[in-house]
Amino acid sequence: MSNVRAQAAHTLYHVVDRGVSLSAALPRYSRDLNPKDKALMQQICYGVLRYLPSLEFYCQQLLDEPLKGKRRVYQFLLYVGLYQLIHMRVPEHAAVGETVNALKAMRAPGLKGLVNAVLRNFQRQRDELEAAATQIDACKYNHPGWLLKKLKRDYPEHWHTIVAQNQAQAPMWLRVNQRQYTCEQYAHLLSKQGIEYSQFADYQDAIKLKKAVDVQKLPEFFAGASSVQDAAAQQAARLLGAQDGEYVLDACAAPGGKTCHILELADAKVMALDCDAERLDKVRANLQRLHLDAELVCAQAQDTESWWQGQQFDRILLDVPCSATGVIRRHPDIKWLRRHSDIDELAKLQGQILDAIWPLLKPGGTLLYATCSVLSEENQEQMKAFFTRHSDAQHSPLHEQDSIAQPGWQLLPGDTDGFYYAKIIKQ
């Protein structure tokens, strides 16, 4: 029989120590669990990753030495136990008892005494341990030091808010398929189902749910009436502004939310390009559910010779690979999978893709550059460097603060995820 806490420990070990993404590890280790236990395991894994530095600190204080080598996975079981004691509404005796019992499923009953002692000692010393943790920035904010440094540099007035939002649970947004319903009509269907929501004038196709629900409970979801997509990501298709009959490239398209949104708003001919065949299957599945059609191409965006047929595009959406620092609350593993050195490498790759794709745009055409990052190297600095390299690139402001000196529109995590957009016209 699968044990939720044992499976959570294995998942966390593979994410933090082996560099496997949470979205890959969670399904693997939760597949034998019932829906209720799957939800519990997800809650634990997300929580431990949100608070990892402080949990590590408590273990450092409570263990004579960290568990290493073959015993390393049990270190993550301790994090699971501590997270429950601090952040979950599990009775303390149950949190300790169930964590100790997980060792049976992990075939390490000999460690029961150690795990029990660490968790009991934490209960006794909790106040002083938590006070000590707040003196260390990484523990106080539960972010890696390099990322805190960059956020403080880029957002001297807002970094506290960004960090707090990264620790929060992300809201669930829907995108209403305008080919089938207006937002008002779909909102009425939600009301009939007893699903509470709110609407915002700034987000034309979006509805925000008061609390997340299973898509199976959404009205006509499988008939294509709506999709799950954050309101910030929904801005891409609206800002791109594709028109009927135009030839549009969605580069780095998977999993296809933006591709589908473009087609919901216009009868355009769309090529969806991505280098990951497995993720391209998700684009195909989304298109099928929404009764839409696009040309799918599996290739590296910058390797244009391998896939481009010579016809220039009217519009290009370039949602480049990025640090994903704007969506940490949805993917808390990003804080621990990303390294400081990754940012320069990603910025270099983004520049290469921009330069390779730019010749594929018609004169007079529009390129929309997008990231789900909040870091200036990937956003404003990237755009400034691009305008310096390309004299035929004309900056098209998206709002009053969007200027050549500080190009683009940066959304920070809050109501929506953190996203960046910059619009460029080819002269």
The residues annotated with a catalytic role in the active site are: 372
Q: For residue 199, give both structure tokens.
A: 């609407």
How does DSSP classify residue 311? P
Q: Report the C-alpha gap between 58 and 19 in whole angstroms.
A: 23
100 contact partners, CB below 8 Å, separation of at least 6? 81, 112, 115, 116, 119
Give the distance from CA 1 to its chain's centroid: 32
Q: Report the C-alpha gap between 94 and 30 in whole angstroms.
A: 21
Q: Report the C-alpha gap between 106 and 283 in whole angstroms.
A: 38
On the 0-12 / 13-18 / 19+ scale of CB atoms within 10 A, 139 is buried
Encode 296-332 in three state secondary structure: EEECCCCCHHHCCCCCCEEEEEEECCCCCCCCCCCCC
For β-strands 226-228 and 172-176, DSSP reports them as: antiparallel
Is residue 256 left, alpha or beta, with left meaning phi > 0 and alpha meaning psi from -120 to 50?
left
On the 0-12 / 13-18 / 19+ scale of CB atoms within 10 A, 387 is middle
Q: Report the C-alpha gap between 139 and 142 in whole angstroms.
A: 5
Phi, psi of 310 (to 5 degrees): 105, -10
User: How far apart are the two ends of the chain, measured CA to CA in Å?
Assistant: 64
Q: Tell me which residue of 104, 75, 60 sits closest to 17, measured CA to CA.
A: 75
Residue 26: CA atoms inside 13 Å, Cβ hemisphere, count? 17
- In sign, the C-alpha dihedral spanning 409, 412, 414, 416 is positive
Q: Report the C-alpha gap between 27 and 54 in whole angstroms.
A: 26
Q: Residue holding tokens 């030839």?
A: 247
Is residue 426 left, alpha or beta, with left meaning phi > 0 and alpha meaning psi from -120 to 50?
beta
The beta-strand segments (E) located in 266-404 are 269-274, 295-298, 313-319, 361-371, 393-396
